[in-house]
Amino acid sequence: MSKEFVDDGSGNVKGVNIIRVEWTKTATGGWDMKQMENSAEYFPADLVLLSLGFLGPETKCLNDDNVELDARKNIKTPAGKYNTNIPGVFAAGDCRRGQSLIVSQHIPPHDISLALFET
C-alpha cells in the first residue's frame, strides 16, 4: 500500500514509500486490510500510476455522518430503495450494491429521483 510519495524538492516525484498489507476475510464475508509490521519499503520512481478498484466507498465522510454500512462495507439501503439511515441522504450505484466485474444495467435517473419523494 502506498503510504507517501517522495518528491525531489522541486515538486517532482522521486519515489514512493509503501508498506505491505495482508487481506483477511471477515465473518460477515467482507475483507479487512491489515498493515504488516516491519514491511516498509522505498521504491525510486520517475512516474507513479495508481489503479484503484474494488475498495468500496470512501468511508471518511460516511463515518463522520454516521451513514450505516452493510456487512460488505457498502452503503446500506432498504431492499429496492435508495434512502440511507440519514434523512435526505441517498445512495445509488457501486457504493450501494458493491463493485462487480460484470457491467449491470443502470437504473434510469427518474427511478432514483422518484425515491426522493418516497421518503
Give the 3-state secondary structure of the chain. Answer: CEEEEEECCCCCEEEEEECCEEEEECCCCCEEEEECCCCCEEEECCCCCCCCCCCCCCCHHHHHCCCCECCCCCECCCCCCCECCCCCCECCCHHHHCCCCCCCCCCCHHHHHHHHHHC
Q: Report pLDDT for 13.
A: 94
Q: For the chain, which residues score pLDDT lower than 70? A: 50-54, 101-119
Q: Report pLDDT for 78.
A: 92
Q: Report pLDDT for 82.
A: 87
Q: Report pLDDT for 62.
A: 78
pTM: 0.49
The domain locations on the chain are: 2-44, 54-119
